[in-house]
């Protein structure tokens, strides 16, 4: 049986070329995605429709032949499974209702996987159609990132500045915030186990809001919850590799790599090449092309791809973006990158 390049890289192997997939590769830059999305009544209904979500997952695989597919879902499905109202406003993004009590959420944690079983159905559909040499990735939002939305209730506010509302909670009401994080660790572990049971060969933990945290808060809000989440996932019997993405963590990514038992560390756009090399000396890395440069294309894009290959190509490395692909990226620029690294 052919082992996917992604799995080889996560074992610490240096592959003939880096495996490649893009964050948000199933999305609005694809005309076929936009047509599919127009048929769903709302975004959450789209995510929880296994046939539609599977089609969205497979669309970029058919067009580009990436080395891995990532299940089409959203990090804010977990709050819904815990009893918090979640909806999406057209053109404005997610909205969340009042935060349920910690006690009521705790009662729902072990059922989180079953509550979101449609995501598992999506994974099963995709795995049945995906070529064996291509890996299938499941994912969840990290506890702190999901908590920022749950505590603030409005992603639009969080997106401005440095998630001031949630960070203020973390300082002013540490016991409450830590209790919410503990609930999210348990619920997310069950959710990820369900995904692995459904066919995910890799699991990714998206910590979108690790940036701007002083080291003590990073330890409390990011590192320790990730450690607890990974440990709980393993306790539940999951054996597939995990990738952690502490976006914006800068030099703290080295500490994360050394102290968190993930098998790969995804690096963001702003991560210096030298820091990436130091993280790579600890464990496999993923990243970190700037999505804005992918939008621009041309010679500048080729130069940066070459720089990444020169800096990280001799170690275990998964080529990816440093954040999600933008809706207005020309599709030809994706082809340009894949050809440049020898994936087409």
Known binding residues for substrate are: 24-28, 74, 149, 208, 323
DSSP notation for 220-279: IIIIHHHHHHHHHHHHTT--S-EEEEETT-TTHHHHHHHHS--SEEE--TT--HHHHHHH
Q: What are phi and psi of 216, to 5 degrees?
A: -70, -40
- Mention every residue, 6+ apart, whose C-beta is less than 8 A from residue 145: 75, 206, 207, 208, 209, 210
User: Of 246, 261, 254, nearest to 209 (Cα)?
Assistant: 246
- 255: which 2 tokens? 């500490």
Active site residues: 24, 28, 37, 74, 149
Instruction: Give just the sign of the alpha carbon dihedral 169, 173, 176, 178.
Output: positive
Distance between CA atoms of residues 117 and 344, nearest Å: 35
Q: How many residues does the chain have?
A: 344
Q: In what order do the strands lie in the sheet with 202-207?
A: 68-70, 135-141, 202-207, 242-246, 264-266, 285-289, 317-321
CA 146 remoteness from chain centre: 12
Residue ranges for the known binding site are: 24-28, 74, 149, 208, 323
In three-state secondary structure terms, 329 is coil
HSE value, Cβ hemisphere, 13 Å, CA-based, for 1: 7
- Mention every residue, 6+ apart, whose C-beta is less than 8 A from residue 171: none
């Amino acid at each position: 049986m052919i082992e996917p390049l992604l799995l080889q890289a996560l074992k610490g192997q240096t592959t003939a070329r880096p495996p490649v997939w893009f964050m948000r590769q199933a999305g609005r830059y694809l005309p076929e995605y936009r047509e599919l999305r127009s048929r769903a009544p709302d975004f959450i209904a789209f995510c929880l429709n296994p046939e539609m979500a599977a089609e969205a997952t497979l669309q970029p695989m058919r067009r580009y032949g990436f080395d891995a597919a990532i299940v089409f879902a959203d990090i804010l499905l977990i709050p819904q499974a815990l009893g918090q109202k979640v909806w999406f406003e057209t053109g404005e993004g997610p909205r969340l209702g009042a935060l349920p009590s910690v006690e009521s959420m705790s009662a729902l944690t072990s059922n989180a996987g079953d509550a979101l079983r449609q995501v598992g159905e999506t994974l099963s559909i995709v795995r049945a159609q995906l070529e064996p040499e291509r890996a299938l990735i499941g994912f969840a939002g990290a506890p702190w990132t999901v908590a920022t939305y749950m505590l603030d209730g409005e992603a639009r506010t969080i997106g401005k500045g440095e998630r001031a509302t949630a960070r203020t909670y973390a300082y002013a009401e540490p016991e409450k915030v830590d209790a919410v994080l503990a609930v999210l660790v348990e619920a997310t572990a069950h959710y990820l186990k369900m995904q692995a049971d459904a066919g995910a060969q890799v699991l990714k933990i998206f910590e979108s809001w690790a940036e701007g945290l002083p080291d003590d808060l990073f330890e409390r809000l990011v590192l320790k919850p990730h450690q607890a989440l990974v440990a709980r996932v393993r306790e539940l019997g999951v054996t597939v590799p995990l990738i952690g993405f502490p976006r914006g963590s800068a030099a703290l990514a080295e500490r994360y790599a050394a102290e968190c038992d993930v098998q790969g560390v995804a690096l963001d756009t702003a991560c210096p090449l030298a820091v990436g090399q130091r993280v790579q000396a600890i464990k496999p890395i993923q990243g970190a092309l700037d999505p804005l440069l992918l939008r621009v294309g041309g010679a500048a894009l080729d130069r940066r791809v070459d720089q990444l290959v020169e800096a990280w190509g001799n170690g275990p490395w998964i080529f990816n973006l440093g954040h999600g692909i933008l809706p207005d990226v020309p599709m030809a620029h994706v082809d340009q990158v894949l050809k440049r690294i020898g994936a087409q």
